[in-house]
Amino acid sequence: PSFSAQAARVRVDRQTGQVRVLEVAAAMDVGKAINPRAVEGQLEGGVAMGLGYGLLEEVKMKEGVVINPNFLDYKLPTAVDMPVIKPIIVEQPSGTGLHGVKGVGEPPASLPAAAIANAVDDAVGVRLMRAPLTQESVLEALDASVAADF
């Protein structure tokens, strides 16, 4: 099996709920990295995909109809949204994979949402349990947190 972990550093605007991901460290046990540069590219690409899942991508429905069916309305991250990505290759060769390799394609994309949510909690003390962490959902959580303090 492949094991991976990610951590993010974010900036949260308490007035608007906007989350800006500044940096993501993405570590993964890849078995044997036959082509380390390609592995780094997979880690970086996975983080980029996961950034979309974590912050932007959402199919919006109204009365059973998708109301954002095109790329004009369905938000995706762009180059401007990309944080500094620090890929960390861990090599623990597999006893079952050819030449000791392990899969590296899918896992990096599944972790950024959780890493970002944890970073938001660390930054502003609100725990968000559902992706995407839209400006609206972050602002609602911040407002609820302030209301709970009174």
**Burial track 19-52 (b if 16+ CB lie within 10 A, e otherwise):** bebeebbbbbbbbebeeeeebbebbbebbbbbbb
Q: What is the DSSP letter of 62?
A: E
Is-catalytic flag, 106?
A: yes
| Cα distance between residue 64 and residue 49, in whole Å | 27
- Structure token digits, residue 128: 């968000």
Considering the candidates 58, 106, 136, 140, report the single residue annotated as catalytic. 106
Q: Who contacts 148 (Cβ-Cβ below 8 Å, separation ≥6)?
A: none
| Cα distance between residue 67 and residue 97, in whole Å | 44
User: Taken in order 25, 28, 32, 36, is the CA torsion positive or negative?
Assistant: negative
Q: Which residues are catalytic?
A: 106
